[in-house]
Amino acid sequence: MSEQSQHKRNLNAVNRALAGGTFSQVRQLLNSLPGAETAHLLESSPPREREILWRLLSQEQETEVLQYLGEEVRVELLRDLPPEELVPLIEDLDTDDLADLLQELPEQVTSQVLAALDAQNRERLEQVMSYPEDTAGGLMNTDVITVRPEITFGVVQRYLRRRGEIPETTDNLLVVNRRNQFIGVLPLTRVLISDPGTTVREAMRTDVEAIPADRPAHDVAKLFERLDLVTAAVVDENGVLVGRITIDDVVDVIREEADHSLMGMAGLDEDEDTFGSVWHTVRRRSLWLGINLLTALAASAVISLFENTLEKVVALAVLMPIVASMGGIAGSQTLTLVIRAMALGQVQEGNTRYLFTKELAVGALNGLLWALVIGATAALWFDDTSLGMIIASAMVLNLVVAAGAGALIPIAMKRMGIDPALAGSVVLTTITDVVGFFAFLGLATILYASLV
């Protein structure tokens, strides 16, 4: 059975039970599901059902489910809990998850949670919280196992047996010196296949670098992807080991970054809760619509410059959205491509010129192609060759401008510290609308004036 249909069955069963009001059945079903699946159910439920489902969970289940919930939903469910109920729920979360969560909750709750932790855990949490959420330090956990270079594998293995537990997703032991500075990694597989007399120093890998704690999460993700890492050590500015990052947290970063581009280009937040309340959603989205209304008004202002021409030749009004629309489409292709390439780190000084020239050439060729088509169509439709020539010329011009703008906007925005995934498409559409209407109606005004 596929994952999808499994969810579907669970979701439908829960909905039926909720609709029938048989909470005991729902509770029974929830008891049989793994935490990740319950979290997915909560995220796929409208506010009322989500609230009911959450209340039906035992405290133990709530703790389990919390670590799988998306940030926005998690904060929504926990925000209104009194601290004495909150602390037992969240104190067992992974250090990095807990640090993220505390940053979203009121100050007072944070200090109560910190006070409730034992000294060692508090120190670890404070260390993670001292780094911004989107850096290596903010991503790391502190559950590292360290060994010294001079000991033998026999000793390592006795140590591990006495310890009795190795944290999830541990592929390497981390080798440190007396001052706890990172010097290399010892793959667990080497401990398994090597002679017990081998020393850590002989078998450790020193070609693997540790990640500085202030390195941006984006760079960490690229590093994991490029080197196919499962875990990586994190060090402070003195090279002292402070924690480790595991691939599951990196996968979250990759997912969030991808979501950020996709959602950002539609003016949405990547954490947007699909089933959030109407009011919350309206507030978030209205700003974006307001900004776009301004750009549409700018286009109208351009059109109004040509009222006289429009009055004389109403065919212009019929055709004018075409040039602007094609410019927007062509420009957003370039924009999307460049934003993706920048996210992958492919756009650098050395190749910007090539990229720009290539996109201009693509814009010009596509402009010519579709200018012929629309020029012929317009000339036949309105039985007016001049009109065909006007729209064809405006089309070529706007598609070249669109390509140039699509390539330059994200590069320029990045230099100015603006996120092109968020602001790029608004600026692009404004340019392609203004240029599209101006070129088409302007050319028409000149040509018809000279003809009449």
Q: Minimum distance between the CB of residue 246 and its own copies, rounded to whole angstroms?
A: 8
Q: Which contiguous run of DSSP H or E holds residue 424?
A: helix 420-451
List 80, 165, 237, 451, residue binding its own copies (CB under 8 A): 165
Residue 346 in the binding site for its own copies (CB under 8 A): yes
Strand partners, 187: 172
Lookup: tokens for 131: 């780094």
Query: Smaller CB distance to its own copies: residue 437 or 438?
Result: 437
CA distance 61 to 70: 16
Q: Which residue among 25, 37, 104, 411 contacts its own copies (CB under 8 A)?
A: 37
Least Å distance, CB 116 to its own copies, is 26
Q: Which of 24, 80, 118, 163 binds its own copies (CB under 8 A)?
A: 163
Kindly report the CA angle at 389 between 387 and 392, in degrees rounded to 5?
105
Binding of residue 117 to its own copies (CB under 8 A) = no
| Window contacting its own copies (CB under 8 A); options: 57-65, 109-117, 178-186, 318-326 | 318-326
Minimum Å gap between C-beta 405 and its own copies is 14
Which one, 30 or 86, has the nearer CB to its own copies? 30
Sites for its own copies among residues 358-377 (CB under 8 A): 358, 361-362, 365-366, 369-370, 373-374, 377
Min. distance of Cβ 191 from its own copies in angstroms? 6
Q: Shortest approach of its own copies to residue 428 CB, angstroms?
A: 11
Identify the three-state secondary structure at position 86. helix
Q: Considering only residues 115, 258, 380, 446, which one is a binding residue for its own copies as defined by CB under 8 A?
A: 258
The answer to whether 141 contacts its own copies (rule: CB under 8 A) is no
Cβ atoms < 10 Å from Cβ of 84: 9
Separation CA 9–CA 380 (nearest Å): 57
Residues ≥6 apart with Cβ < 8 Å to 89: 59, 62, 63, 66, 78, 81
Taking the least distance from each CB to its own copies, the nearer of 88 and 345 is 345
Q: Is 219 in the site for its own copies (CB under 8 A)?
A: yes
Is residue 409 within 8 Å of 427, Cβ to Cβ?
yes
Which one of residues 24, 118, 237, 278 is an interface residue with its own copies (CB under 8 A)? 278
CB nearer its own copies, residue 76 or residue 433:
433
Question: Total residues contacting its own copies (rule CB under 8 A)?
Answer: 130
User: Helix 83-90 crosses helix 71-78 at what angle (to 10 degrees)?
Assistant: 140
Binding of its own copies by 59 (CB under 8 A): no
Rounded Cα–Cα distance for residues 228 and 6 (Å): 31
In the shown chain, the binding pattern of residues 399 to 438 toward its own copies, with x for contact by CB under 8 A and - for none, equals ------------------------------x---x---x-
Taking the complex as a whole, the smallest distance from the CB of residue 24 to its own copies amounts, in Å, to 20
248 binds its own copies (CB under 8 A): yes
Measure the CA–CA gap between 438 and 120, rounded to whole angstroms: 67
CB of 451 to its own copies, least distance (A): 19
Check residue 310 for interaction with its own copies (CB under 8 A).
yes
CA atoms within 13 A on the CB side of 168: 6
Stretch that binds its own copies, among 95-103, 104-112, 234-242, 260-268 (CB under 8 A): 260-268
For its own copies, give the closer residue by CB, 146 or 304. Answer: 304
* R_g (Cα) of the chain, nearest Å: 30
Angle at 104 between CA 98 and CA 108, to 5 degrees: 90
User: Per the structure block, which two tokens stand in for 357?
Assistant: 């020239």
Report d(CA 301, CA 450) in Å as an integer.
24
Ordered DSSP codes for 138-184: HH-B----EE-TTSBHHHHHHHHHHH----SS--EEEEE-TT-BEEE
The answer to whether residues 223 and 205 touch, using CB atoms and an 8 Å cutoff, is no
Spatial CB neighbours of 90, under 8 Å, sequence gap ≥ 6? 63, 66, 78, 98, 101, 113
How far is 42 from 440, CA to CA, in rounded Å? 52
Find the binder of its own copies among 63, 215, 271, 384 (CB under 8 A). Answer: 215
Here's the x/- map for its own copies, 63-102, by CB under 8 A: it reads as: -----x----------------------------------
